[in-house]
C-alpha cells in the first residue's frame, strides 16, 4: 500500500468512527479526540523531561504538546508553514504565553522568526503524523516539508543522529502494514497515543542532512544554503 492510500484510509476511518475532531482530517495532520491525553503521556517520557529545547510541528493535534512545553519553561521552534520565509522557524518561549502562543495564530503573533543557524541545539523533535508503525516508519500529510525541516536542522548542526523523534497520534493511526520509506524520510523513535507509549524498533536510519540530488522544491532558505555551498 502506498503512502497516499494509507493517508486516505486513515482519514476516512477517523472521520467515520468519530475520532477526528475539528478541522476536518483530509489533507492534514488529523486532529483527534484525547490529543490532550497523548500530550500528558508524552510528558512521562524521560526524553521529554530532559529536553529544554523542542522542535514541534504547528498542527492542531500537537497544540497541547506546545502548550505543555511552554508551561514547563521549554523553548519551542516551530517551522513557518511550507518554509515560505528565509527566517523559516518561529522561536517561542515564556510560561505566560502558554495558552495564546500554542496556537498557530498565536505563535506568529508572539513568536520570533529566526534563521536555522540562529537556533539553539534541539533536544527533542515532535512530529505530526497521519500514520506510523512499530518499525518507526511515518506517513505525514504529504509535501515533505517535515523532512526538509529535519534536513536543514541536521545541516546546521542543531540536530544529530541521537536527537529523539516522537509523534503523538490516536491508537487507530498506529498500523501494522509496511510503510514505504525513502532515504529522506525521517523515522520516529517513540509513538505516543492517549493510552500507551511505544518505543519503535528503529528499523530505519535518519537522514544526515539535505539530499540535494532528490530535492524538488525551491524555497528561500534553500537558496541561501545553495549560495553558501558555492
Domain ranges of the chain: 34-208+216-223
Give the mean pLDDT of the chain.
Answer: 95
**Where do the DSSP E strands lie in the chain?**
53-56, 75-79, 89-92, 112-114, 124-127, 131-132, 138-139, 165-168, 190-192, 197-199
Confidence at residue 212, expressed as pLDDT on a 0 to 100 scale? 92
User: Number of C-alpha atoms within 13 angstroms, CB side, residue 159?
Assistant: 25
Give pLDDT tens digits for 71-107.
999 999 999 989 999 999 999 998 878 888 888 888 8
Least confident of 29-43, 88-102, 171-185: 88-102
Q: Is 64:35 a contact under the CB 8 Å cutoff?
A: yes
Judge: domain 34-208+216-223, CATH 3.40.50.10420: yes
Confidence at residue 94, expressed as pLDDT on a 0 to 100 scale? 87
Confidence at residue 230, expressed as pLDDT on a 0 to 100 scale? 67
Instruction: Look at 119 and 109; give whichever has higher pLDDT.
Output: 119
Which DSSP state fits 32? B
Rounded Cα–Cα distance for residues 77 and 107 (Å): 10
Rounded Cα–Cα distance for residues 136 and 91 (Å): 28
Q: Output the nine-digit C-alpha cell for 170.
A: 490516536
Rounded Cα–Cα distance for residues 88 and 79 (Å): 6
Q: Output the nine-digit C-alpha cell for 13.
A: 476511518
Amino acid at each position: 500500500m502506498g503512502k497516499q492510500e494509507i493517508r486516505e484510509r486513515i482519514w476516512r476511518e477517523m472521520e467515520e468512527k468519530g475520532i477526528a475532531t475539528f478541522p476536518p482530517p483530509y489533507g492534514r495532520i488529523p486532529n483527534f479526540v484525547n490529543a490532550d491525553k497523548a500530550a500528558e503521556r508524552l510528558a512521562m517520557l524521560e526524553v521529554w523531561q530532559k529536553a529544554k529545547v523542542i522542535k514541534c510541528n504547528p498542527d492542531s493535534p500537537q497544540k497541547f504538546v506546545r502548550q505543555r512545553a511552554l508551561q514547563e519553561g521549554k523553548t519551542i521552534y516551530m517551522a513557518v508553514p511550507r518554509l515560505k520565509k528565509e527566517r523559516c522557524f518561529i522561536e517561542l518561549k515564556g510560561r505566560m504565553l502558554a495558552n495564546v502562543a500554542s496556537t498557530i495564530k498565536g505563535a506568529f503573533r508572539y513568536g520570533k522568526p529566526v534563521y536555522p543557524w540562529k537556533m539553539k541545539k534541539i533536544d527533542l523533535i515532535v512530529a505530526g503524523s497521519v500514520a506510523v508503525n512499530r518499525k518507526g516508519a511515518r506517513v505525514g500529510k504529504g509535501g515533505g516539508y517535515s523532512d526538509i525541516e529535519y534536513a536543514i536542522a541536521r545541516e546546521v548542526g542543531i540536530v544529530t543522529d541521537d536527537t529523539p523523534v516522537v509523534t503523538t497520534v490516536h491508537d487507530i493511526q498506529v498500523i501494522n502494514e509496511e510503510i514505504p520509506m525513502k532515504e529522506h524520510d525521517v523515522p520516529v523513535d517513540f509513538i505516543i497515543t492517549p493510552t500507551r507509549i511505544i518505543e519503535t524498533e528503529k528499523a530505519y536510519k535518519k537522514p544526515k542532512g539535505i539530499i540535494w540530488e532528490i530535492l524538488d522544491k525551491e524555497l528561500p532558505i534553500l537558496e541561501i544554503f545553495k549560495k553558501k555551498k558555492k
